């Protein structure tokens, strides 16, 4: 029994985990907290966690910024598509994806067919504030981050909205977001 998440539609995390036979894939914009929440969600469900951007960096032996600088975005997207396909096959419990991954039609179809996509969503101010803490995101270096994030939110929301589960996060504790996801998973058939 895990007292940190007691009220997920009466189902304890272990009971929820037992019902889920496919990877949980966190999607959504940069700064929404996919990696942080993903790690905690995996911990709550006692499943493995993997971060797709870290796997891309490992495979390329370069940071995401370096891949963008040296080879451009299209090259990064090709690698991202291949790495996520591999991660889906490997049967990880929880996969955090980079913000553009689920916008790719091929990756989206794969995730929707073989996994459960969870769209983490929050307001623009929060995204701007959180992404300002790190300087590692190449797409935000090309102009005003707020304007870029606003435009990406507009462009990408139709893709993100195809996720099976949608959870809106706020500035509250991560446990609250994890509890919300568990609640959605408990109700998920």
Q: Which residues of this chain interact with ligand S3P, rule CB under 6 A?
A: 30, 34, 53, 64, 98-100, 137-139
Given the complex with ligand S3P, which of 156 and 180 has the nearer CB atom? 156
Given the complex with ligand S3P, which of 11 and 148 has the nearer CB atom? 148
**Residue whose beta carbon is closest to ligand S3P:** 98
CB of 96 to ligand S3P, least distance (A): 7
Place of tokens 């790690």: 39
CB of 157 to ligand S3P, least distance (A): 13
CB of 66 to ligand S3P, least distance (A): 11
Given the complex with ligand S3P, which of 16 and 101 has the nearer CB atom? 101
139-145 contacts at long range (C-beta below 8 A, 24 or more positions apart): 139/30, 139/73, 139/100, 140/30
């Amino acid at each position: 029994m895990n007292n940190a998440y007691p009220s997920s539609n009466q189902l304890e995390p272990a009971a929820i985990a037992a019902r889920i036979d496919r990877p949980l894939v966190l999607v959504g914009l940069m700064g929404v907290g996919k990696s942080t929440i993903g790690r905690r969600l995996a911990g709550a469900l006692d499943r493995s966690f993997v971060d797709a951007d870290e796997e891309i960096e490992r495979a390329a032996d370069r940071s995401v910024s370096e891949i963008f600088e040296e080879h451009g975005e299209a090259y990064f997207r090709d690698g991202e598509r291949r790495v996520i396909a591999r991660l889906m096959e490997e049967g990880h419990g929880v996969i955090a994806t980079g913000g553009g991954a689920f916008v790719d039609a091929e990756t989206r179809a794969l995730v929707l067919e073989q996994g459960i996509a969870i769209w983490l969503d929050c307001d623009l101010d929060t995204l701007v504030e959180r992404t300002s803490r790190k300087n590692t995101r190449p797409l935000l270096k090309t102009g005003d981050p707020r304007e870029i994030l606003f435009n990406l939110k507009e462009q990408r929301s139709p893709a993100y909205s195809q996720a099976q589960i949608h959870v809106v996060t706020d500035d509250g504790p991560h446990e609250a977001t994890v509890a919300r996801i568990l609640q959605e998973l408990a109700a998920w058939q």
